[in-house]
Amino acid sequence: MTLAELIAQARTALDTAIATRQQEQDALMALRSDENLTEDAVTAQVARRDAADQEVTRRQEALAGLEAEQEREEELAQLQARTVPAANRAPAYDRVHRVGAEERTYRPDQDRRGAMFERDVAAAFLGDYEARDRLARHMAEERTERGDQLQRAVGTGAFAGLVVPQYLTDMYAPAAQANRPFADAMRRHDLPAQGMQVNISRVTTGSQVDNQATENTNVAEQDMDDTNLAIPVQTAAGQQTISRQSVERGAGVEAVVMDDLFRRYNTNLDNKVINQATTGLRHVATAVTYTDADPTAAEVYPKVIEGLAGVEATMLDMASGDNIAVMHSRRWYWMQNAMGSTWPLITQPNIVAQTLGANYATAYGRGVRGILPNGTPVIVDNNIATNLGAGTNEDEIYLVDRQECHLWEDPDAPMYIRAEQAKAASLGVLLVVYGYFAYTHQRYPHAHKISGTGLITPAYTGV
- Give residue 31's pLDDT: 73
pLDDT band at residue 155 using 50, 70 and 90 as cut-offs: low
What are the helix (H) ranges across 33-88?
A: 39-81
C-alpha span between 168 and 147 (Å, rounded): 34
Average predicted confidence (pLDDT) for the chain: 86
Q: What is the pLDDT of residues 125-140, one digit of tens each?
A: 666 778 788 888 888 8
Give the pLDDT score at 87.
45
Choose the weakest-confidence range: 57-66, 140-149, 330-339, 449-458. 140-149
pLDDT at 85: 52
Residues in the chain: 463
Q: How many CA atoms lie within 13 A of 367 on its CB side?
A: 8
Q: Quick one: which H or E segment has residue 426?
A: none
**Mean pLDDT value of segment 341-356:** 69
Q: pLDDT value at position 279?
A: 97
Q: Which of 100-109, 226-235, 255-264, 396-405 has the lowest mean pLDDT?
A: 100-109
pLDDT in tens, 218-242: 999 999 999 999 999 999 999 999 9
pLDDT tens by residue, 51-109: 988 988 998 898 888 888 888 888 887 777 665 454 455 555 555 445 455 678 877 77
> pTM of the prediction?
0.66
Q: Rounded distance, CA 209 to CA 223, Å?
A: 12
Q: State the Cα–Cα distance between residues 406 and 403, nearest whole angstrom.
A: 7
Cα–Cα distance for residue pair 311/161, rounded to 1 Å:
68
User: What percent of the chain has pLDDT above 70?
Assistant: 86
- Of the candidates 397, 78, 406, 441, the one whose C-alpha atom is nearest the C-alpha of residue 279 is 441
Domain ranges for the chain: 1-81, 112-149, 180-191+235-463
Class (C level, CATH) for 180-191+235-463: alpha beta
Cα–Cα nearest to 399, from 266, 303, 317: 303
Compare 347 and 460 and report the one with higher pLDDT: 460
Question: Percentage of the chain surpassing pLDDT 90?
Answer: 49
Q: How far apart are CA 315 and CA 444, in angstroms?
A: 7
